[in-house]
Structure formats: C-alpha cells, structure tokens
Chain A
Amino acid sequence: MSRESVVTSRRAALKCLAFGGAGTLFALAGGVFTPIDLAVAAADRTGAASLGKPLFVQISDSHIGFNKEANPDVVGTLNRSIDAVNALPEAPALVIHTGDITHLSKPAEFDLAQQLFSRLHTAEMHSVPGEHDTTDPTVTEYFNRFGKASGNKGYYSFDHAGVHFVALVNVLQFKPGGLGTLGAEQLAWVAADLKGRSSSTPIVVFAHMPLWTIYEPWGWGTGDAPQLLEQLRRFGSVTVLNGHIHQIVQKVEGNVTFHTARSTAYPQPVAGVGGGPGPLKVPAEQLPSMLGVTSVSVVKHPSGLRLSDTTIAEGGMA
C-alpha cells in the first residue's frame, strides 16, 4: 500500500491502494518534504507538477544476491524500480539508497548492484550501509565502493537545494540482544555538524535501521536515537528516512516526519507477525504491489517536503 502525506486525489490514492510499492519521490515545498507515489508522479504529469519540485528518490533494501522463494528475481524487481524512477517527468537530482544494497556483502553482489544503479537518471547517488552490507570479515566491501564521501566512516552530510542532508550509520556497533546503535562518536559528529545551522534549514536524516523504535523484539529501532532526535528538535522541518523493515511505516512527531521505505526485493511481515523478520512469501502476482521506492518533492503550500511511495506494479503502468 502506498501512503502520501498529502493525498493528491482520491483516484491517485485508490490507485496506490490497488497497486502497492516501487519507491518514494521526495519533494520540497516551502521547506517541507512530501513523499509522492512514484507511479502517480510518472503517470500523471499535471498531478506530479502540482506536487512540487522533485527533490530526490529513496531506494532501499535491494538485497542483490537474494534468490529464495520470496523473490527469485531481485535484479528484475530492482530494474523495475529503476524504470519507475526513470519514468518521472523530471529526473530527481539525487537518489538515496538506505542500505542492504546486497544480501551477503559479496563483491560480485556489490558489483552487480553498481552496474544496475548506473542506469538511474540522476546526477548523484548517496547511500548508507545496511547490516547485510557489512558482514564480510573485514567489513571493507561496502566502504571500498561507497566510503569515499565520508573518509570511510560511512556517515557524512551535504547540502542540496537549501536542504541539509545527514547520512548516518546504525548497523556497525551491534550489541547482542539489542537495537541499532549510532554511538557516541557519531552523535558528537552530528552535534558539530548541526551547530550554527539555522533552525529554518530543512533537514533530511537517513540511515538504514529505523531511528525510532517500531518493534523492539525484532530489533526494529536504534537504541541511542533519542539523543539524535534531541539535537534535531529545534529545526522546523525534519524528515527521517529509513529502510530495513521492507514496508512503509510513518509517524509524525512535532516537526519530525519519520518514514520507512519499501524494499525493491521482498516484503517482510508486519511487526510481531510470525516467527521473525524474514522474507515474506506472497503470491507472485501480489509481489510487485509490495515493492517500490519513495520520492520526495518540495511543495510550497503547505510549505514542506512531500513524500510519496510508488510500487513497481504502478511504475510498470506508467
């Protein structure tokens, strides 16, 4: 199922319900982000234009290397997600991948993923690692490819279109029995990075694991995220984007909008349903409606960013 902070039309909303998820496009409207369903954006040019200026697209959990029953063709579904992005009326300036690019951190999986991403119509791609990207013994495969921007730390920030983006890593300092961790060093870096920035600067924070606790028994959260959110509180528009749970969960708390993206590979069960957070097997014809991307665009009224989620089922219609 797709969700939009600002529902563009009943028809579009129903279409989302019917076809489910490919990605989210994020638009910035007067400083506030709004996610837009990609299929809607691609299929309805007038509607898409009214959604604001396309800012970036979030892709997540591609799990290249996965080949089990839940989706024997993760390359095919990533390609369909890329097609949905490329079908946007206006190419997004940025694409953000929120981790689990690969399934087993294997060099061949990373190489194939990079080859597929090269087809994206976008100027820049940014990423953060997921726990599936960092299981190689030396934890170097991800960083050799994507670590340059951060001096191999994995966390970094940049500015685009007046928006300050903060990329964080919460999958490296795992604690047995625990949630994701940012760690004191990274939290200190964030404090220094945000210091002196105007509170009217729109902030986008992205990391792989949810930065709020969705379901602790499955580790769906980040233990020290409250210390991060404390630092973000003074900003007028904060958008927190995560992956990891392979489904959309959204929450608004004050000026902070939390949003998790669909996977491009396979869905996972709703929190607490079944034995654990593993691949959810669904009938083949239903699968495309559960995979997708998120887009964000800038909207002027109300001011902010608009998030929109698109399934590859919809993307295929465009």
Chain B
Amino acid sequence: MSLRELLLPYLSALLLAALTPCVSHAGVTSAASTIVIAKDFMFGPTALTVAAGSTVTWTNKDDEPHTVVSDSGLFRSAALDTNESFSVRFDKPGTYRYACSIHPRMVGTIVVQ
C-alpha cells in the first residue's frame, strides 16, 4: 500500500471538512445568483443579504436608464437601458453600498456574509 493510498481517506475527510462551510453558507440563500430590480426609481430589494461567492444581478425595468455605482468605487456599471443588466460577484464578506449616478437618490446595500 502506497503512502498516497494510506493518506487518501484522511485527505478526503480534510477536503470534505473544508467544503462543508461553503455548502452550509450556500444554504443561507437559495441561489448563488440574486436579482435586484431597478423600477420606479428605486432598487428592490433596497437591502439584500447574500452568501460570499454569490453573484448579484441588477436589471433596469424603468424607461429611464440607471447605473449601479458602488460608494467605494469597487464596481460601476455603464448606463443600463430598459431591461439591460449588470452583474457583480461578491467574494468577500462586508457591506457594499451603491447608488445610481444618474439619480443619486436611488441607493441600495448588499451585505455579504
């Protein structure tokens, strides 16, 4: 029996242990991709909590274009025309505030756990 064969069960257990937290985190939100809708000059939901690694997609449902610009400068969409979308993948836990630069009163928050 080689050393590799001896260690295999142990390595597998380690791998499983490493994966487990991710799996349970994914369980917090039902999907790894979440949609925020910009409609009637508001982002909805205004505050959204997702697991680390999730992708958030904003879709504009207004006749007026909107942008998605993070306060910290981390992400910035182009002007989204009606039905256009913009996505960001959030890997690091934290609170991310954003606004529409065309209508700065449109604000929202993504909380990544």
A104 touches B81 (CB 8 A): yes
| Chain B 16-57 interface mask (CB, 8 Å, partner A; 1/0) | 000000000000000000000000110000000000000000
B101 touches A276 (CB 8 A): no
Does A175 touch B at the CB level, under 8 Å? yes
Instruction: Determine the residue in chain B with the shortest Cβ distance to A175.
Output: B104
Quick one: given A103-B65, A176-B99, A219-B103, are A276 and B76 in contact (CB under 8 Å)?
A: no
Contact of B41 among A104, A132, A137, A278 (CB under 8 A): A278
Query: Given the complex of chains A and B, what is the CA–CA distance between A170 and B63 in angstroms?
Result: 24
Q: Could you tell me the dominant secondary structure of chain B's interface residues?
A: loop
Q: Residue among A134, A176, A219 with the most chain B CB within 10 A?
A: A176
| Chain B 72-106 interface mask (CB, 8 Å, partner A; 1/0) | 00001011011000000000000001110111110
Q: Could you tell me the dominant secondary structure of chain A's interface residues?
A: loop
- Residues of A within 8 Å of B81, CB to CB, are 103-104
Contact of A278 among B62, B71, B76, B97 (CB under 8 A): B62
Does A37 touch B at the CB level, under 8 Å? no
Query: Given the complex of chains A and B, what is the CA–CA distance between A136 and B67 in angstroms?
Result: 10
Does A124 touch B at the CB level, under 8 Å? no
A176 touches B65 (CB 8 A): no
Interface residues of A in 262-299 (CB under 8 A from B): 275-279
Q: Report the count of interface residues on A (CB-CB < 8 A).
A: 26
A70 touches B101 (CB 8 A): no
Query: Given the complex of chains A and B, what is the CA–CA distance between A178 and B101 in angstroms?
Result: 10
In angstroms, how far is the closest chain A Cβ from the Cβ of B29? 25
Contact of B99 among A69, A134, A174 (CB under 8 A): A174
Query: Given the complex of chains A and B, what is the CA–CA distance between A276 and B105 in angstroms?
Result: 11
Contact of A132 among B76, B99, B102, B107 (CB under 8 A): B102
B79 touches A132 (CB 8 A): yes
Query: Given the complex of chains A and B, what is the CA–CA distance between A278 and B41 in angstroms?
Result: 8
Quick one: given A68-B63, A275-B41, A276-B41, are A176 and B78 in contact (CB under 8 Å)?
A: no
Quick one: given A104-B81, A137-B78, A276-B40, are A70 and B103 in contact (CB under 8 Å)?
A: no
Q: Residue among A135, A217, A218, A276 with the most chain B CB within 10 A?
A: A135
Query: Given the complex of chains A and B, what is the CA–CA distance between A69 and B63 in angstroms?
Result: 9
